[in-house]
Amino acid sequence: MKYVIISVFFAFFLIFFGLTSIVFAQSTLSTQVNVDVVPSSPGPNEQVTVTLTSFQTDLDKASITWKVNGKTVLSGRGQKKFTFNTGAMNTTTSLDIFITTSGGQSISKSLRFRPVDVDLMWQADSYTPPFYKGKAMFTFQDKITFIAVPHIFSGGVELSAKNLIYKWTENGSVVDYASGYGKNSFSFVSPLISRPINMEVEITSPTTNDIAHASLNIAATDPMIILYRKNPLYGIQFQNALNGKFDLNDSKEITIIGIPYFFGTKTLGSPDLDYKWAINGLPAGNNGSQEVFRQTGNQTGTSNISLSIENANKILELASTNFNLSFGQK
């Protein structure tokens, strides 16, 4: 299987503790201050901005102290916004906020950030030739599989992907049947008319309270055909694609093979694929993946060789290509 690591994105462990010293018995001051975190899911060593807001107390007149891992980093009147960096993956950064209002009331809040990591990858179920070093691309009406590889630790040991809980979201809608305990992969077939896919996964640990997020965007591409010369001794010459113009020189014939890259089939000779060869626009050949073209007598000139391929079961999977074959000329 070929994977691409498209995205290693962020996750975090965030706990709010509302610790409040109440001056007036009739007041519940822990609810007076809201804490906004941007980004909401910070990753390892990422900059985070925390902003305080309140509709019940004037924070501009309040004395506010910010402590990171127990060390005072910022303190002063009206200091409602604070920026810091999270630690490395699976390390905890504590942020403590102490507020003294103009009326002498004390409010404190504590936040804990522990970034974790998740790799979100995808693979398409489309055709590529043997030993192809590239990635099989996702095309219309093709099957695609998303795989989440989380890196969440407990007691210094990485938790198994099968022991975590997954929530898959496709284009903003939660996919209930694909979500749940141990479901770290999600496969589906693209519809006839497919828009770009935004895939998100949220991973939670039932034992550590860690929450991991990852997302990626992918759009279907068009399949394509590449023509190669097939040598009777060396086989398919993948190092040289036939395009533009090819001179036959002293040879009397050439065997050409058309490779249907990224069609939704398992094999080159799938019965679902319809090969149509043509010479100067006129049908030629036996409708297979390869064809032999010969020079007739002593004729010289140039012919346009073309091939189109269609998937009989997937109407949007079609492609064509051509090149000019020069023969009888030195």
Residue 6 covered by a domain: no
User: What torsion do the CA atoms of 98, 101, 104, 109 make, to the nearest 10 degrees?
Assistant: -30
Give the model's pLDDT for residue 278. 94
Indicate if 92 and 121 belong to the same structural domain.
no
Which is higher by pLDDT, 322 or 211?
322
Domain region containing 301: 224-327
Indicate if 107 and 23 belong to the same structural domain.
yes
Residue 4 covered by a domain: no
Indicate if 283 and 299 belong to the same structural domain.
yes
Question: Which one, of 216, 18, 24, lies nearest residue 123 by Cα?
Answer: 216
Looking up tokens 């610790």 gives 19
State the average pLDDT over residues 72-100.
92
> In CATH, what number is assigned to the domain containing residue 59?
2.60.40.10
Give the model's pLDDT for residue 88. 86
Which is higher by pLDDT, 295 or 198?
198
Indicate if 274 and 254 belong to the same structural domain.
yes
- What's the domain count of the chain? 3
Instruction: Report DSSP letters for 16-50, one per residue.
Output: EEEEEE-SSTT--GGGS-EEEEESSS--TT-EEEE
241 has pLDDT over 70: yes
Structure tokens at 25: 């018995």
Q: Of 218, 236, 254, which residue sits at a domain end?
A: 218
DSSP secondary-structure letter at 195?
P
Distance CA 97, CA 85 (A): 16
Range with lowest mean pLDDT among 149-153, 162-166, 174-178, 275-279: 149-153
Instruction: Report DSSP letters for 93-125, one per residue.
Output: EEEEEEEE-TTS-EEEEEEEE---EEEEEEEE-
Question: Between β-strands 235-241 and 185-189, what pairing exists: parallel, antiparallel or unpaired?
Answer: unpaired
Distance CA 267, CA 265 (A): 6
CB 302 within 8 A of CB 326: yes
State percent of the chain over pLDDT 70: 89
Indicate if 36 and 108 belong to the same structural domain.
yes
Indicate if 132 and 150 belong to the same structural domain.
yes
DSSP secondary-structure letter at 9?
E
